[in-house]
Every structure is written in structure tokens, then in C-alpha cells.
């Protein structure tokens, strides 16, 4: 039966190639949509995920990381006094205007961190050091910001909110979700550059003492008035869900994936159906010599599985190339092994679903069709 399925499938090579191209197109489109979405979400919470803190304290009803509301710095003392907190510090985030050397201007997200601990600052430097931001108004710029801010190097001077600042470091791997690039400075310099942040902070970061459950410490911290408290994973998820649903990104990507599945189902179902109609007499012959409905099922479903396997393999190969070269175009695609497994299952299900119409047609064939002219 396996040979019959393979021979039926490969009998018309043009039709077979069209089917594989359709499945491959669907696979690549599904991979690209999920991969780009995961890349976007990784960027949306990149600071949270790479900051060595167990707990994030924000203002009440803060929607996500990029649009926080400042609150009193004095909350830090209450956090430090809470049982189970081993360490806590401020982290500042504010939107600012940076003037480029060519005279243009760009919005930036200015992050103020404590250079003594480095918590909340860039985690990978190409040039300079975290300690260098202690020297007055100094900044570290990520290389991903160069297309917007211009190519900068250590020692350059730029203007932020009409203050002259010095570039003391270049980081890498800190690409944000919004169009505004991240720029790092010391916490106090951030307050000086952003007049709305004087005597106020945006986040309080805390680490849990050994032997304490972070979730229990979070519950204690929630007794502090006018703040929200999250574990790192909770705040990362909250930020990702905000961008997924509040901006419509999730719906847009979901509709594209659905269209890819529909295209794959239509192409595969049409091909297998036409192949089945063309070989109805052969199916009648099989039933006439004793083949069961189960045997017919096996032939058609194995054709669908062959289409799924080849289409997925080719689509995965194309996707690997897209992942490798998409970064050069400023688009991050993330394709982890679980996504590969999920798309494989989805591809198989798509092709099996597409074969159902053909199965029903083949099962209804009358064995006597063999003896008719």
C-alpha cells in the first residue's frame, strides 16, 4: 500500500511539485509570522529578562515596561525593610529627545541605573565600561541605535534634552520593541537630564534572600500602598501581553497564520482530490480484489504525510536561511525547537485535514466500476 501511495503521488510530477510548493509556502509563512512575533516579544521584555532582579516594583496600574509612571523614591526604604528582601535599588526610565550630530533629533528611552551594581544596565559591552557613566553626564549607546542616532563612538558628545552628554560606552544586543532606542546612563544623571524624574523613580528592583520564596515576598511587598509588585517572569509576561493585545499585533499575526493554513489546506486538498479522482478505477480494482476501507485510508493518508514531510523539510530549510539573514534587515526572527515541533504537528494536521474529502470519495467507489467500459 505504501508503494501505491508513493506511485500515485509521484505519477504526475507537475502536480506533486505544485503541492510541495503550496505546503512549503504555508510552512515558511507560519514560521516567519511566529518567528517575527517571538522576536518582537523578546525585544519587548529584553531589559526585564536580562536584569538580575527577582522582583519588580512599579507604580499602580503601570501598563508595561516602556510606559511607566514615576512614584516616590521613598518607597525604596519600605521595600528594603520587607522580610525576605536581600537587596533593592532604583531604576529609572524616561523618554527624552536626543539631538544627532547632523542636526536632526530622535526620541530615546533613557535608562538610569546604579553603575556600582550594574543592575538594569547593558549586559554586554563592546567598548567602554559601566563605571564610566559615574563621570557626570555620560551615556552608553547600543549599536542597534546607530541607524537612528548616527554612528557614535566613545568620546563623542551629543545633546539630550538640551544637556551636553558624553558617550562613554557602546553596548550590543539591546534592541527594544518601540521605535525609540535605549540609551543608558547613571541613575542620578538620568534624573538631571529628565526634569520629570526629580526625586522620583520608575522601578524598584529587588533580590530575594536565600531560603525565601519570591512569590511570598511579592505578597508582602504588595502591602505597600500605590504600587504594583511582580516577579520578573510575571512582569515580562505582562509587558508581552500588553503589546500582543493592546496594539492588535497578536490579532494581525494570528490572521496571517490562519490564512497560511487555509492556503495549505486548499492546495493540498485540491491536489490529492484530483489525484484520487484520476485513480478511481485503481481504487475500485483494489476493493474488487479484497482491499478494505482501512487500506484505502492508508494510501490517501500516506500521500498526505509524504506531502507534509517534504513540504516541512523544504520550508524549515528556507526558514533557517531567513533567520540567519533577517537580522541584517533589522528584523529579529526567533525559531526555537518547540516552535519547530509545533509547526511540524500543524503541517501534518493541515495535510491530513486536506485529505479527508479524497478519503470520502475513494471509500464510496463501487468495485464494479472496474468492469464498466
Return the HEC string of the chain: CHHHHHHHHHHCHHHHHHHHHHHHHHHHHHHHHHHHHHHHHHHHCHHHHCCCCCEEEEECCCCCCCCCCCEECCHHHHHHHCCCEEEEEEEEEEEEEEECCCCCEEEEEEEEECCCCCCCCCCCEEEECHHHHHCCCEEEEEHHHHHHHCCCCCCCEEEECCEEEEEEEEECCCCCCCCCCEEEEEHHHHHHHCHHHCCEECEEEEEECCCCCHHHHHHHHCCCCCEEEEEHHHHHHHHHHHHHHHCCHHHHHHHHHHHHHHHHHHHHHHHHHHHHHHCHHHHHHHHHCCCCHHHHHHHHHHHHHHHHHHHHHHHHHHHHHHHHHHHHHCCCCCCCHHHHHHHHHHHHHHHHHHHHHHHHHHHCCCHHHHHCC
Closest by alpha carbon to 162, among 195, 127, 133, 184?
195
User: What confidence category does residue 254 fall into, taking pLDDT thresholds of 50, 70 and 90?
Assistant: confident
161-184 pLDDT per residue, tens: 989 999 999 999 888 888 889 999
Q: Is the pLDDT of residue 18 over 90?
A: no
Over residues 305-314, mean pLDDT: 90
d(Cα 77, Cα 201) in Å, to the nearest integer? 13
Give the residue with greater pLDDT, 256 vs 277.
256
pLDDT for res 373: 47
Using an 8 Å Cβ cutoff, are 112 and 185 in contact?
yes
User: What confidence category does residue 284 fall into, taking pLDDT thresholds of 50, 70 and 90?
Assistant: low
pLDDT for res 4: 63
pLDDT for res 176: 84
Over residues 96-125, mean pLDDT: 91
Over residues 71-98, mean pLDDT: 93
336-373 pLDDT per residue, tens: 999 999 999 988 888 888 777 666 655 565 555 545 54
For the chain, the domains span 2-43+248-371, 61-225
Give the residue with greater pLDDT, 258 vs 3.
258
Q: What rounded mean pLDDT belongs to the chain?
A: 85
Over residues 105-124, mean pLDDT: 93
192-247 pLDDT per residue, tens: 888 777 778 999 999 999 999 999 999 999 999 999 999 999 999 999 999 988 88
Q: pLDDT exceeding 70 applies to what percent of the chain?
A: 86
pLDDT for res 138: 94
Over residues 53-72, mean pLDDT: 91
User: What confidence category does residue 25 fall into, taking pLDDT thresholds of 50, 70 and 90?
Assistant: confident
Q: Is the pLDDT of residue 92 over 50?
A: yes
Q: Which of 102-111, 206-215, 237-246, 296-305 is the least confident region? A: 296-305
Closest by alpha carbon to 46, among 239, 179, 208?
239
pLDDT for res 2: 47
Over residues 317-332, mean pLDDT: 82
pLDDT for res 274: 73
pLDDT for res 368: 53
Give the residue with greater pLDDT, 15 vs 45.
45
Q: Is the pLDDT of residue 68 over 60?
A: yes
Over residues 83-101, mean pLDDT: 92
Give the residue with greater pLDDT, 87 vs 272.
87
Give the residue with greater pLDDT, 246 vs 269.
246
Amino acid at each position: 500500500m505504501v508503494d501505491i501511495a508513493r506511485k500515485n503521488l509521484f505519477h504526475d510530477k507537475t502536480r506533486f511539485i505544485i503541492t510541495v510548493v503550496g505546503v512549503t509556502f504555508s510552512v515558511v509563512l507560519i514560521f516567519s509570522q511566529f518567528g517575527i512575533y517571538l522576536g518582537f516579544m523578546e525585544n519587548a521584555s529584553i531589559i526585564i529578562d536580562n536584569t538580575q532582579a527577582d522582583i519588580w516594583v512599579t507604580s499602580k496600574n503601570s501598563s508595561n515596561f516602556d510606559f511607566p509612571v514615576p512614584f516616590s523614591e521613598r518607597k525604596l526604604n519600605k521595600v528594603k525593610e520587607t522580610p525576605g528582601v536581600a537587596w533593592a535599588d532604583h531604576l529609572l526610565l524616561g523618554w527624552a529627545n536626543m539631538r544627532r550630530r547632523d542636526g536632526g533629533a530622535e526620541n530615546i528611552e533613557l535608562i538610569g541605573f546604579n553603575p556600582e551594581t550594574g543592575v538594569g544596565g547593558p549586559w554586554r559591552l563592546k567598548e567602554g565600561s559601566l563605571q564610566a557613566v559615574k563621570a557626570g553626564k555620560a551615556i552608553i549607546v547600543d549599536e542597534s541605535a546607530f541607524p537612528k542616532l548616527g554612528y557614535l563612538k566613545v568620546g563623542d558628545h551629543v545633546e539630550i534634552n538640551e544637556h551636553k552628554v558624553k558617550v562613554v560606552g557602546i553596548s550590543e544586543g539591546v534592541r527594544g520593541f518601540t521605535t525609540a532606542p535605549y540609551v543608558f546612563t547613571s541613575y542620578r544623571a538620568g534624573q538631571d537630564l529628565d526634569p520629570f524624574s526629580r526625586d522620583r523613580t520608575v522601578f524598584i528592583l529587588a533580590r530575594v534572600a536565600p531560603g525565601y520564596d519570591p512569590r511570598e515576598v511579592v505578597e508582602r511587598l504588595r502591602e505597600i500602598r500605590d504600587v504594583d509588585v511582580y516577579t520578573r517572569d510575571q512582569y515580562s509576561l505582562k509587558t508581552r501581553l500588553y503589546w500582543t493585545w493592546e496594539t492588535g499585533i497578536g490579532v494581525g499575526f494570528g490572521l496571517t497564520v490562519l490564512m497560511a493554513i487555509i492556503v495549505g489546506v486548499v492546495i493540498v486538498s485540491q491536489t490529492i482530490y484530483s489525484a484520487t479522482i484520476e485513480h478511481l478505477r485503481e481504487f475500485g480494482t483494489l476493493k474488487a480484489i479484497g482491499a478494505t476501507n482501512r487500506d484505502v485510508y492508508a494510501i490517501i493518508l500516506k500521500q498526505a504525510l509524504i506531502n507534509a514531510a517534504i513540504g516541512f523539510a523544504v520550508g524549515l530549510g528556507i526558514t533557517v536561511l531567513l533567520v540567519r539573514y533577517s537580522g541584517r534587515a533589522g528584523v529579529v526572527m526567533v525559531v526555537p525547537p518547540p516552535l519547530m515541533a509545533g509547526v511540524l504537528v500543524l503541517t501534518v494536521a493541515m495535510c491530513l485535514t486536506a485529505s479527508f474529502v479524497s478519503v470520502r470519495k475513494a471509500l464510496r467507489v463501487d468495485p464494479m466500476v472496474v468492469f464498466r467500459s
